[in-house]
Chains A and B, each alone.
Chain A
Amino acid sequence: MKWIAQYYQRWLQKRSPANKHHTLKQSNVYIFPSRLGGCYLLLSMLLWLLGTNYDNNLILGVSYLFISIFLLCIFHSYFNLQGLKVTNITSENADSTVFVGDMAFIDLAFLRSNTNYQPAIKVAFKELPGVYLDFANQQSVEISLGVEALERGQLLLPRLSIVSYYPLGIIRCWSELSIATQQLVFPLPVENSLPLISSGVAEGENKKNLESKETQEQEYQSLQLYRAGEPLSKIAWKQYARTQVLYTKTFAADTGENNQLSWYSYPDVEAELRLQYLCYQALELHAQQRAFSLELVNTTITQGNGDGHLQRVLSALALYKAPFESIK
């Protein structure tokens, strides 16, 4: 049984490859009688027996009517799905950060074919609860389906199944589409006790913490116009008193300090856990608005800060693939 399922999956993969946009048509819609359909045929057989046994032409006629309805339902159910367009419209900007274990939301737009009122279409990612499309009186509908992100890396979407039992529930008409997505799943951040920055700079950091507040104040190198959202602690209040303009102090540490996150700073730690530690560190540093760099086995990301930088770092962590011989 298992190999049949595997074979079916491979066949399906070849037949309808992953894509952001699908249109339901003959090549990706499948039709088979449902269990109810089997009962329906059984019912018409019973009626046929009744009609035959009592030589009752009318009951025979009713039985043939049932069989004709069954046949016609095959076509009606197909035409209900045919022409339905599915598009993955999930926006891929930075504000949707998904970590392992989170729900990733996939936004799908369904555009119905022009003439058809298409009721009773159930959409679901395989083995997940689904939604009925309700076009009401409109041409298209957008839904957002949640998928639990189980693994780090490119989000693995189960096939999207679009099922319709229309019109009578006796014919199951379905399609299994592979929806392409660029959504990344980042490693789950795990808090760790190691110093925030790598060992090379740790001494300087400690020293700095010991220095008096006044010297710290003097150490800032330049002033920049205050932007909303920056921590109040960085505002140059003296300059504000003087000029009535809000400035932010830029410390030498922000530009000059070298916060290097490195794969190698966690010896004797499992690879996945290292990534989770690094992820936590990156998020922490970002929250403190401190610049940092990342060093992985075969990638390095140079010093930087800001949302774009964080995105790059997290992506690198998400997509990290260990080389064949793991390096401790």
Chain B
Amino acid sequence: MVITKTHSLAQKNMATETLLIKHILLLMLAQCAALLPLLEQLPWWMLLLCLTLFFTRIQIVKRKILPINQYIKFSLVLVTVSLLLISSDSGYSLHSFVVLLVLTMCLKIIELTSKRDYILMVFLGCFISASQLLFANSLIAFFYVIFCLLLLHVCLLQLCCEPHKPLLNATVSIQQQSINQWRYIKKLLLLFLQALPIAVVFFLVIPKIGSLWQVPLHSKAAKTGMTDSLSAGDIAKLNQDNSAAMRITFDNVGKIDNAQLYWRGLVLEDFDGKTWRRSAQRLAPISAAKTSEITSTNSRINYQVMLENTDQPWLYALNTATTSNSKIAQWQNYSLTKRENLQNRFQYNVQSYPDYVDSSDLSALEYQKLTALPKNENPKTRQYAVALAQKFSDKQQIIDAIMQKFNEQFTYTLAPGRMSTTHGIDDFLFAKKRGYCEHFASTTAFILRAAGIPSRIAAGYQGGQWSSDNRYLLVTQAAAHAWVEVWLAGKGWVRLDPTAAVAPQRIESGASDYLAQLTQGSSLVSSLSQTSLMRQLRLRWDNVNYQWHRWVLGYDNKLQLALVTRFLGGIDAWRIGLLLLSVLSLMLIPLFIKRVIGLPKKKESDVIVRLRKLDKVLAKIDLAREKGETLNAFLQRAAEHSSINKPALMAIAATANQLLYDTDAGRSACLHQLDTLIEQVKNSR
């Protein structure tokens, strides 16, 4: 046993709790980690400001530069806040709140002097780090946040364990410091590992209350995805984007042919010569009679759609869709919208009746609206349409003629070049003859309208990638598509996809495969992401993500009730309490084992082993070391005890001290000497 003696007077100054540079460095590391995923959300200068202030802070701690005075601080606050007001969209939203919090944290760095500031910074960091889950909620994002929280908690632990300078050796080696830091990280890993199961139980059993008040997440939509209008280039942009748009799980239906998967979202009825828009008039809700007419159709597909956040109300479904969800409005043109804009991922159940035929008639007003075109534009196309209308009496023949023209003379490409701005459709139809879905759809609808056939554009997604077990379908942004709906008396609205006439594989094999062929060699990254191995991996990964979304993000009261009653047999308070207690105690078992039973003792140093042997020898003559007695004092006492070899005892004291305090010098020789001395004492008895 080794005893060190320190005096309180000497320690008084050291006990003052000040921040050390290592505390600040660790905090900065943790804060940077927490800010990293938020960079996309922050104005560009925020990172710059943050790094500059961190750097300044360190220089101040190192006493390289003087602390910043009040005026500079004040003007810094003024400048940055006004910068924030200018650069942000100045909307009232959570997003701007988070940005403000980050700014507060950055500015607090220069104020960071006391322990209290430090802890405030750590808590701010925790909040900011957690709030990043508002913007990204993938599996990876979640575990990254947990990692950041771990780092921030290491800051707290370090502050708690080393609030003062080291006592005995003021210059602790860097090695020792890193050992300490590892120890902290290990300790916190243990704490987090213990805490996670308890948190999971909390998560599973605590009922969820709906939102208490509404604050928009973003004050300005900046999402990829469909917008409420369609002009040249919109979809081509999306075709490069492999992020998920939605995921669909079908009930009890086998794989559906890709060519049937038209995820219809928006219906665009107004055309101004360049852009197709939604009807300017108020949409009429679908009548009850029509709904019952639809639901009485034979074939039915039930499925569940999980739509990624779009910040818009459009919902996508196979035609003709109905739903019983009260949050969803259903319209006369068969489209579905959420009653409020999406704030988050949204999950809904839909029933689709693909074989439904609308047998009603269009009113004269509707007929007029659906054949309306801007005057004076695209004269050549108009002429062509009028000629077609004169040539064929049957509407289907007109359609066939257009499709045949596309099939024979046109190419599907993602890079058709710019069309003329004044007569875009003329340019496409008679000069360029190259384009992608929206050119074909727009042109077809234009010709049909010019020929007096009511038509409109439907926009949404087409196809999808089946998971390896065929259980669900992933639709990426790349599958964005536009097609035409044409009114044929007696058949109702009929889907007409001109792209299928130009590039049938685009429809049959799905956008991803087809686009892969198209873009091969065009850019390394996109072609890599399209190769089959990568696609397989991506699908596998997406499956994991999907389950995460479905079970973790989509965990709601309904699921909760089902799960809790299934595993606990009821939802009484005592059952839940019992579960919580048992998990808590389960997590504490390692601690108890460690404290009560005691872990295998650390191997004692060779010096201590020898001294214990000496203790045994001396115990035989009723000499035992008292609590708190130093080795020297004890041996002195033993030496006064007459019957023992005094010089040997004193020599032991000297040798042992040398071994314990002077680390390196002639260790083995000293140990040997100690052995022989103890032997002498034993024999002299």
Which A residues contact B (CB, under 8 angstroms)?
21, 36, 39-40, 43, 46-47, 49-50, 52-69, 71-73, 75-76, 79, 82-83, 85, 87, 89, 107, 109, 111, 113-117, 119-120, 122, 129-132, 134, 136, 138-146, 165-170
Give A52's nearest chain B residue, CB to CB.
B209
A64 adjacent to B202 (CB under 8 Å): yes
- B191 partner, pick from A21, A89, A146, A167, beta carbons under 8 A: A167
Number of A-B contacts (CB under 8 A): 208
Nearest Cβ on chain A to B210's Cβ, whole angstroms:
7
CA distance A120 to B141 in the complex (A): 34
CB–CB B130/A50 < 8 A:
yes
Known contacts A131-B15, A138-B4; decide if A120 and B203 are in contact (CB<8 Å). Answer: no
Enumerate chain B residues within 8 angstroms of A67, measured Cβ to Cβ. 199, 202
Per the 8 Å Cβ criterion, residues 42-63 of B in contact with A are none
- Across the two chains, which residue of chain B brings its CB closest to A61? B203
In chain B, residues 1-19, which have Cβ atoms closer than 8 Å to a Cβ of chain A?
A: 1-9, 11-12, 15
Within 8 A of A (CB), among B94-136: 94, 119, 123, 126-127, 130-131, 133-134
- Inter-subunit contact A89/B123 (CB<8 Å): no
- A275 vs B213: C-alpha distance in the bound complex, in angstroms? 77
Closest residue of A by beta carbon distance from B555: A57
Whether the pair B628, A109 counts as a contact (CB closer than 8 A) is yes
Interface residue stretch chosen among B482-490, B521-529, B592-600, B614-622: B592-600
11 contacts between A and B (CB under 8 A): A53-B212, A55-B210, A55-B343, A57-B553, A62-B130, A65-B192, A68-B195, A71-B198, A76-B191, A107-B628, A131-B6
Question: In chain A, what residue has the closest Cβ to B7?
Answer: A144
Given A115-B599, A167-B160, answer yes or no on A143-B627 (Cβ-Cβ < 8 Å). no
Question: Quick check: B598 and A89 within 8 Å, CB to CB?
Answer: no
Residue from the list B149, B161, B552 in contact with A166, Cβ < 8 A? B161
Closest 9 CB pairs of A and B: A109-B628, A64-B202, A68-B198, A89-B628, A68-B195, A64-B199, A65-B199, A134-B167, A58-B133
Asked if A115 and B194 sit within 8 Å, CB to CB, the answer is: no
A68 & B627 in contact (Cβ 8 Å cutoff): no
Contacts of B629 in A (CB 8 A): 89
Instruction: Judge whether B209 and A54 touch: CB under 8 Å.
Output: no
A132 touches B552 (CB 8 A): no
Q: Does B163 contact A (CB under 8 A)?
A: yes
* B628→A72 contact, CB < 8 A: no
Q: Please give the distance in Å from A246's CB to the nearest CB on chain B.
A: 28
B595–A62 contact, CB under 8 A?
A: no
Q: How far is the CB of B666 from chain A (nearest CB, A)?
A: 22
B288 close to A (CB within 8 Å): no
- Chain A's closest residue to B551 (CB) is A57
Q: Determine whether B196 belongs to the interface, using a CB cutoff of 8 Å to chain A.
A: yes
Q: Across the interface, which residues of B come within 8 angstroms of A109, CB to CB?
A: 3, 627-628
Partner of A47, one of B12, B127, B210, B594: B127
- Which residues of B are found within 8 Å of A142, using beta-carbon distances? 3-6, 628
Interface: B372 (CB within 8 A): no
Cβ of B292 to closest chain A Cβ, rounded Å: 33
Chain B residues with CB under 8 Å of A65's CB are 146, 149, 192, 195-196, 199
Which listed residue (A40, A52, A79, A129) contacts B212, Cβ 8 A?
Answer: A52
Evaluate contact between A144 and B210: CB separation under 8 angstroms. no
> Which of B7, B137, B200: most chain A CB closer than 10 A?
B7
B545 to chain A, nearest CB (A): 13
**B209 contact set on A, CB distance < 8 A:** 52
Q: Judging by beta carbons under 8 Å apart, are B627 and A64 in contact?
A: no
Distance of A95 from chain B, by nearest CB (Å): 15
- Determine if B601 and A165 form an interchain contact, defined as CB atoms under 8 angstroms apart: no
Q: Which residues of A are found within 8 Å of B226, using beta-carbon distances?
A: none
Chain B residues in the interface with A (C-beta under 8 A): 1-9, 11-12, 15, 94, 119, 123, 126-127, 130-131, 133-134, 137, 141-142, 145-146, 149, 153, 156-157, 159-164, 166-168, 183, 187-188, 191-192, 194-196, 198-200, 202-203, 206, 208-215, 217, 343-344, 552-555, 584, 587-588, 591, 594-595, 598-599, 601, 627-629
CB distance A132 to B130 under 8 Å?
A: no
Question: Is the CB–CB distance between A54 and B343 below 8 Å?
Answer: yes
Note all chain A residues with C-beta closer than 8 A to B552: 57-58, 61
Contact of B595 (CB < 8 Å), options: A66, A79, A111: A79
A133 CB, nearest partner CB in chain B, Å? 9
Most A CB contacts (10 A, CB to CB) among B94, B157, B629 go to B157
Chain A residues near B123: list those with CB within 8 A. Answer: 39-40, 43
- B163 in contact with A132 (CB, 8 Å): yes
Q: Is there contact, CB below 8 Å, between A89 and B199?
A: no
- Summarize B's interface: helix, strand, loop or mixed: helix
Nearest Cβ on chain B to A183's Cβ, whole angstroms:
16
In this complex, the member of B4, B160, B206, B587 whose beta carbon has the largest number of chain A beta carbons within 10 angstroms is B160
CB distance from B2 to the nearest CB of A (A): 5
How many Å from the CB of B656 to the closest CB on chain A? 14
Chain B residues contacting A87 (CB-CB under 8 Å) are 627-628
Closest to B594 in A: A115
Q: Is the CB of B595 within 8 A of A134?
A: no
A57 touches B131 (CB 8 A): no
Return chain B residues, CB-CB under 8 Å to A132.
11, 15, 163-164, 167
* Residues on A with beta carbons closer than 8 Å to the beta carbon of B601: 114-115
| A120, B157: Cα distance in complex, Å | 10
Identify which of A56, A131, A140 contacts B134 (C-beta below 8 A): A56
Closest to B157 in A: A167
* CB of B590, distance to nearest CB on chain A (Å): 11
Output the nearest chain A residue to B139 by Cβ-Cβ distance: A58
A57 touches B595 (CB 8 A): no
Verify B130–A57 contact, CB threshold 8 A: no
- Residues of chain B within 8 A (CB-CB) of A119 are 161-162
Instruction: Tell me if A56 and B137 are in contact (CB < 8 A).
Output: yes
Please tell me if the beta carbons of B137 and A58 are within 8 angstroms of each other in the complex: yes
Inter-chain contact B213/A53, CB cutoff 8 Å:
yes
Let me know if A69 and B192 touch, CB within 8 A.
Answer: yes
A144–B213 alpha-carbon span in the complex (Å): 59
Of chain A, the residue at the smallest CB distance from B183 is A117
User: Is B156 in contact with A169, judged by CB distance below 8 angstroms?
Assistant: yes
Q: How far is the CA of A136 from the CA of B3 in the complex (A)?
A: 11
Cβ–Cβ contact A60 & B160, under 8 A: no
Query: In the assembled complex, which residues on chain B have CB atoms less than 8 Å from the CB atom of A53?
Result: 211-215
Complex CA–CA separation, A114 to B1 (angstroms): 12
| Bound: A54/B15 CA distance, A | 45
A110 and chain B: residue at smallest CB distance: B628
Nearest neighbor of A48 in chain B, beta-carbon distance: B206
B660: min CB distance to chain A, Å: 9
Q: Which residue of chain A has its CB nearest to the CB of B145?
A: A62
Q: Given contacts A52-B212, A109-B3, A166-B160, is CB(A64)–CB(B595) below 8 Å?
A: no
By the criterion CB–CB under 8 Å, are B208 and A144 in contact?
no
CB within 8 A of A62: which of B6, B133, B157, B628? B133
A169 engages B168 (CB within 8 Å): no
- With A52-B212, A131-B8 in contact, do A72 and B119 touch (Cβ < 8 Å)? no
Assuming A57-B203, A168-B160, is B213 touching A75 (CB within 8 A)?
no
CA distance A52 to B134 in the complex (A): 12
Q: A43-B126, A68-B194, A68-B196 are in contact. List 14 more A-B contacts (CB 8 A).
A: A40-B123, A53-B211, A53-B214, A54-B343, A60-B203, A61-B142, A62-B133, A68-B202, A83-B595, A89-B627, A120-B162, A142-B3, A145-B8, A167-B157
A114 B203 Cβ-Cβ under 8 A? no
Nearest residue (CB) in A for B196 is A65
Please, which residue of chain A has its CB at the minimum distance from the CB of B583? A68
